[in-house]
Amino acid sequence: MFRTQRWDGIMNTKNKFIAFIGLPGSGKSTTAKELAKLMHTQYVYNEPEENEWDELVTRREFYGPFNGLLWFRNTRVKGLLEAYDKFRQGNNVIMDSYYDKAVYEYIGKPGMEWLLNPEDQYFNVAKEIAKADWINLPNVTDLIVLELDKKDWVNFVIGRGRDLDKSSNLINTFETQKYFIDAAKKLSKEFGINLIIYKHADEQPVQVAANILNQLDGRN
């Protein structure tokens, strides 16, 4: 559907289409909301919270990991296409996750089994979907990586208290952070996206958002 609307580079526009990438629990949603306040935009597209998840996710052991993954993918892609439409209408738009554009670069790598195990019968199907999404999903103007040290990230993950984090043993996957950073760098190079890698210390979300906005404005 979206092949005819694929960007080859970034449009010459003053408005921004911003997305975040990073480990689950790195503060993407919270920072995106604070950044939206500073930019005075109502167009913020956030990944569904745990209380909004379908049974395909909450009962993964029954329905299968691939079906849960596909529900997340379809929900996020819907938001991405809606966000892209708002951006094309001349609005500043912020997304808390650019997961589906980037996942092709890290699905199946060591430590990412919580996402989908390479031994899953649907793994090759998921990989092909991810490859098509890398090529065809809309590009953003600015991609922000939230990079954390292990202690801060572990505290964030424990603090949000998701059951899925516990059942998937997410807390032991910190070393996979490099996959997200590498994927962001490759997206930036291949599609001409402005990349900001923000090393997130123990700061309040509003301060993180303010620092990121300074970089987006070219003030740092």
Q: In which region does residue 25 sit, left (phi positive, over 0), alpha (psi from -120 to 50) or beta (all else)?
A: left
Q: What is the pLDDT of residue 134?
A: 97
Specify the 3-state DSSP secondary structure of 197.
strand
Q: What is the pLDDT of residue 35?
A: 94
Residues 143 and 184: beta-carbon distance below 8 Å: yes
pTM of the model: 0.86
Planar angle of CA 196, 175, 25, nearest 5 degrees: 60
Chain segment 61-76, per-residue pLDDT in tens: 899 999 999 999 999 9
Specify the 3-state DSSP secondary structure of 48.
coil
More confident residue, 49 or 109: 109
Structural tokens at position 80: 């991405």
Lowest mean pLDDT segment, chosen from 22-31, 75-84, 126-135, 142-151: 22-31
Q: In terms of Cα–Cα distance, which of 165, 112, 142 is closest to 216?
A: 142
Q: What is the pLDDT of residue 23?
A: 86
Structural tokens at position 132: 């098509």
Q: What is the pLDDT of residue 159?
A: 66
Q: In terms of Cα–Cα distance, which of 214, 167, 168, 183 is closest to 104?
A: 183
Q: In terms of Cα–Cα distance, which of 192, 164, 26, 28 is closest to 96?
A: 28
Residues 126 and 107: beta-carbon distance below 8 Å: yes
Burial class (CB in 10 A: 0-12, 13-18, 19+), 122: middle
Chain segment 154-204, per-residue pLDDT in tens: 777 666 666 655 555 666 778 888 999 999 999 999 999 999 999 987 788
DSSP calls for 19-48: EEE-STTSSHHHHHHHHHHHHT---EE-PP
Lowest mean pLDDT segment, chosen from 2-11, 30-39, 104-113: 2-11
Position 150 pLDDT exceeds 80:
yes
Where are the chain's structural domains?
Answer: 15-216
Burial class (CB in 10 A: 0-12, 13-18, 19+), 219: exposed
Residues 87 and 93: beta-carbon distance below 8 Å: yes
The pLDDT-based confidence of 129 (bands split at 50, 70, 90) is very high
Q: What percent of the chain has pLDDT over 90?
A: 62
Question: Considering the domain 15-216 in this protein, what is its CATH number?
Answer: 3.40.50.300
Q: What is the pLDDT of residue 154?
A: 74
